[in-house]
Every structure is written in structure tokens, then in C-alpha cells.
């Protein structure tokens, strides 16, 4: 209780919520003018077909869309997401449009997690997960991935099974994975579904990088259809992260719970952008311009991944194998400048001065940092080809004594 004359103080849930590492390092990049290989967004202009859809959306309506989403987008998503579920979805009851995957994740976690519930999170993890779980009153429980000497990250399902307790409510899976770029093999995906079924857990799959995988990925939902929500992002799919149009799909009872939260969070999502995304998704899989732009995007990302990986190796870092997405997770312990800093955060804070580059410290992807994190940094290869080249040039230059 506050008394007259004192300044209002934030509620515990806000006071205890740290600023996201991405805001902090985006600011550092702007302030220092360093090459930003931190936050994941492309530099390139959107593909012409994407801008065409946006232009046409001008005539599509500018008032509130219905609560579940624009009907044309719901229909397009029911079709385009069908392969992720192994079945055709009911557009009205099994699809919810959200303000980016971010709101979809928040609504899904708020809808499925009660105070005190434990949520299993595969680590390293996207930093939003623990924060969102805590905001829902839940307890994030990390399940560590392993990394081998060749820099390949993997998830042992036995570790997930061992982390289940009587209080576990939900398993949160990010596949393809940020920050490691790992795509889970089929046997692991099937084992995760079996663990969740056996323990009565709900599953949330964040697959925002599904269209940006360089190897085939295995959808989890078909192996646990009654308990799995899948969260996606048009911003990632089409390389327009500022659009912030996302979705949650899955069984009708779970989508209804997500909708119950979404209605009080944002109620609905920008109508013109929903029109544009509906037009693009409706063409997915027809072999036309949208499929071609996604193929081009994957090819460009792969080329930049290879350029950044070669450059990092040339500078003395050891990038992990990334089979999808926007990022390379790299072991910097062999990079001479790293030795001057106590840990990854100190190194990343100084990186603009040391090398004129911004990267994200690996410990930001942990619920509670561990000693081993100090050697990992995340670099974005989704930036423009020239940005990646310049970043690599600077890292190499900083390596020389
Ligand atoms: C794993 C993961 N999930 C969700 C998001 C957020 O997606 P959106 O921009 O659609 O909210 C990101 C963005 O970086 C991400 O990496």
C-alpha cells in the first residue's frame, strides 16, 4: 500500500522484469555506430512481391478486424499451417492471429500456466520465455542442450523426462532454435511429444524460423495434436520483422484459451497488415512468386551464414553448425581479445570499442547464467551481405595484436 505524497512504485512483476538484452544492445549499436550483428532483422528491402501485397492492402479495409483475425488470413493460415499439424485446421476455431509471435507466446503462456506451475524450457533459450513465464506466475525450469567438440548442439530427451515433476504444466520447444540454429531430428521430436503425452503436459512450439530452415524439420504437433499449440510469425517468414503479425494454431479448446487472453491484450491486429499477410500466405505452396521469394530468402541466408561462419573462423572464433534461422552461436574462448574480459557480458559491452561490432552475450539465453556461458556469443547473419562482410572484416582486424 502506498501513502500520500510518496511516488508510485511499479508492481513486483514489472520491477522484477529486466530489460531485454536486445533493446540494450540495439541501443549500444546506435550509440556507438558499431556494425550491429546483435538483433535479428534483415537490412535488405522487402522482396517486391511483399511490398506489392502491402500496396494492395491499402484498399482492404482500415477498421478493427474480427477478434480471431481477418477471415481471409484465418483461411490462408488454416491451409499454410496444415503441414505443421499434419492435418487441415478449422480456420474459425483453430487459428488465432496475434501481434507477432511475441503476443502469441505471451497469450499462450498466460492461457496455459497457473501461478506456481513449472514450465520446461530448452536452454539456451530466447530471452522472452523465462520473462513471460514469470509474468504468468509460472516457474521456468531450464533443460540444457549439449554441445559436442565439433560445435553441434543437441537435445537429449532423457534430460527433458528427468526434469518433469508433479508441478510441470507445459513444455516449451523452439524448433528451429534460436540462438543455436539447431533443427531437432525426428526421433527427438517424437520423444518430446511422447514425454508430454505421458506426463499430461501442454506443449507450445515456437517455430518462427520454420520457413527459414536449410534442412528438413519435423513438426511436433502431429505427434501430440490434442495438446500442442504452434506459434508462428509473418515477420520472420517474409523478412519484415516490423510487421508484427503472428499466429497461434492448434486444437480448438487451447486456441479458445489463447483467444480469451488475446482479447484483453490487444483484441485485434493491424487490419491492413493482415490483408497483406493473407495474400502472401494464400499463395504458399502454389509454385509461384511467394514460394520463389522464400527460396531466394533461404538461399541468401545460407550464403550469409557461410560468409559469417568462415569469417568468424578466420578471426579465431568457433561458430556452431546452424541449420536454420538468422543466427550463429560462436565459441569466442579462442579469440584473443576475449581473454581480456571477465565474461561474455563484459566482452559484448566492450565489443564496439574492441572491434566496432555488436553481438549478444550467450548468457542472455539462460534462465540463470552458468560458468560455461561465458564463452558463447550470438551473431546475426540475417543482416545485409555488406553488413556481414564489414562485421567480419572488423572482427578479423581486432584479432591482430
Ligand atoms: C525464437 C523467437 N520467437 C519469437 C520471436 C518474435 O517474433 P515476432 O517478431 O513475430 O514477435 C523471435 C524474434 O526474434 C524469436 O527469435
The interaxial angle of helices 344-355 and 385-399, nearest 10 deg, is: 100
Instruction: State CA 357 to chain mean position distance.
Output: 22
* CA 208 – ligand 1 centroid, Å: 6
- With the most atoms of ligand 1 within 8 angstroms of its CB, the residue from 42, 96, 172, 233 to mutate is 233
Taking the alpha carbons of 63, 66, 67, 73 in that order, is the dihedral positive or negative? negative
Q: How far is CA 7 from CA 10, 231, 348, in A?
A: 10, 39, 35
Taking the alpha carbons of 39, 43, 48, 54 in that order, is the dihedral positive or negative? positive
Closest C-alpha among 213, 230, 220, 212 to residue 191: 220
> What is the pLDDT at residue 3?
65
For ligand 1, whether the C-beta of 237 sits within 6 Å is no
Residue 51, C-beta contacts closer than 8 angstroms, at least 6 positions apart: 45
Query: From start to end of 52-189, where are the E strands?
Result: 95-98, 118-123, 139-144, 146-147, 153-154, 168-174
Specify the pairing of strand 202-206 against strand 168-174: parallel
For ligand 1, whether the C-beta of 241 sits within 6 Å is yes
Q: How far apart are CA 342 and CA 373, in angstroms?
A: 12
Closest C-alpha among 219, 133, 204, 200 to residue 172: 204
Question: Which tens digit of pLDDT belongs to each residue from 234-273?
Answer: 999 999 999 999 999 999 999 999 999 999 999 999 999 9
For ligand 1, whether the C-beta of 178 sits within 6 Å is yes
If one counts every other C-beta atom within 10 angstroms of the C-beta of residue 340, the result is 10
**Which residue is closest in CA terms to ligand 1's atom 14?**
40
For ligand 1, whether the C-beta of 251 sits within 6 Å is no
pLDDT band at 186 (very low <50, low <70, confident <90, very high): very high
Whether residue 58 has pLDDT greater than 60 = yes
Backbone angles phi, psi at 10, to 5 degrees: -65, 155
The pTM score is 0.96
If one counts every other C-beta atom within 10 angstroms of the C-beta of residue 116, the result is 10
Q: How far apart are CA 259 and CA 203, in angstroms?
A: 17
Strands of the 376-380 sheet, one edge to the other: 318-319, 327-331, 376-380, 360-361
Ordered DSSP codes for 164-230: --TTEEEEEEESS-TTT-----HHHHHHHHHHHHHHT-EEEEE-TTGGGBSS----SGGGSTTTEEE
For ligand 1, whether the C-beta of 182 sits within 6 Å is no
Residue 3, C-beta contacts closer than 8 angstroms, at least 6 positions apart: none
Closest C-alpha among 381, 382, 348, 341 to residue 363: 348
Domains detected in the chain: 12-41+290-399 (3.90.1150.10), 52-282 (3.40.640.10)
Question: Which tens digit of pLDDT belongs to each residue from 341-383?
Answer: 999 999 999 999 999 999 999 999 999 878 777 799 999 999 9
> What is the pLDDT at residue 311?
95
For the CA of 174, the closest atom of ligand 1 is 1
> What is the pLDDT at residue 17?
81
CA angle 66, 265, 222 (to 5 degrees): 75
pLDDT band at 103 (very low <50, low <70, confident <90, very high): very high
Coil vs helix vs strand at 91: coil
Amino acid at each position: 500500500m502506498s501513502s500520500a505524497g510518496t511516488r508510485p512504485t511499479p508492481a513486483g512483476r514489472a520491477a522484477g522484469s529486466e530489460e531485454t538484452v536486445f533493446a540494450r544492445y540495439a541501443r549500444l549499436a546506435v550509440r556507438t555506430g558499431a556494425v550491429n550483428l546483435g538483433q535479428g532483422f534483415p537490412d535488405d528491402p522487402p522482396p517486391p512481391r511483399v511490398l506489392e501485397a502491402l500496396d494492395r492492402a491499402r484498399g482492404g479495409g482500415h477498421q478493427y478486424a474480427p477478434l480471431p483475425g481477418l477471415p481471409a488470413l484465418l483461411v490462408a493460415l488454416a491451409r499454410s499451417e496444415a503441414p505443421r499439424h499434419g492435418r487441415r485446421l478449422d480456420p474459425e476455431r483453430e487459428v488465432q492471429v496475434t501481434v507477432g509471435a511475441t503476443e502469441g507466446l505471451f497469450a499462450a503462456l498466460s492461457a496455459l500456466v497457473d501461478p506456481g506451475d513449472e514450465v520446461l524450457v530448452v536452454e539456451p533459450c530466447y530471452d522472452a520465455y523465462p520473462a513471460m513465464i514469470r509474468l504468468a506466475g509460472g516457474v521456468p525450469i531450464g533443460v540444457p542442450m549439449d554441445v559436442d567438440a565439433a560445435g553441434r548442439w543437441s537435445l537429449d530427451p532423457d534430460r527433458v523426462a528427468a526434469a518433469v515433476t508433479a508441478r510441470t504444466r507445459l513444455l516449451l520447444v523452439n524448433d528451429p532454435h534460436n540462438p543455436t540454429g539447431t533443427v531437432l531430428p525426428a526421433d527427438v521430436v517424437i520423444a518430446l511429444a511422447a514425454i508430454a503425452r505421458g506426463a499430461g503436459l501442454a506443449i507450445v512450439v515456437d517455430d518462427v524460423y520454420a520457413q527459414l530452415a536449410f534442412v528438413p524439420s519435423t513438426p511436433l504437433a502431429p505427434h501430440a495434436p490434442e495438446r500442442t499449440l504452434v506459434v508462428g510469425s509473418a515477420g520472420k517468414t517474409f523478412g519484415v520483422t516490423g510487421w508484427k503479425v503472428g499466429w497461434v494454431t492448434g486444437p480448438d479448446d487451447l486456441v479458445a484459451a489463447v483467444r480469451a487472453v488475446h482479447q484483453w491484450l490487444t483484441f485485434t491486429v493491424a487490419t491492413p497488415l493482415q490483408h497483406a499477410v493473407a495474400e502472401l500466405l494464400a499463395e504458399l505452396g502454389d509454385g509461384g512468386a511467394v514460394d520463389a521469394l522464400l527460396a531466394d530468402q533461404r538461399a541468401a541466408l545460407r550464403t550469409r551464414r557461410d560468409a559469417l561462419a568462415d569469417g568468424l573462423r578466420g578471426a579465431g572464433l568457433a561458430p556452431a553448425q546452424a541449420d536454420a534461422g538468422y543466427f550463429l552461436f560462436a565459441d569466442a574462448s579462442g579469440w584473443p581479445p576475449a581473454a581480456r574480459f571477465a565474461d561474455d557480458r563484459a566482452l559484448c559491452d566492450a565489443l564496439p570499442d574492441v572491434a566496432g561490432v555488436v553481438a549478444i552475450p550467450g548468457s542472455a539465453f539462460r534462465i540463470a547464467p552458468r560458468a560455461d556461458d561465458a564463452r558463447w556469443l550470438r551473431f546475426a547473419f540475417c543482416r545485409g551481405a555488406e553488413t556481414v562482410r564489414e562485421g567480419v572484416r572488423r572482427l578479423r582486424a581486432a584479432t591482430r595484436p
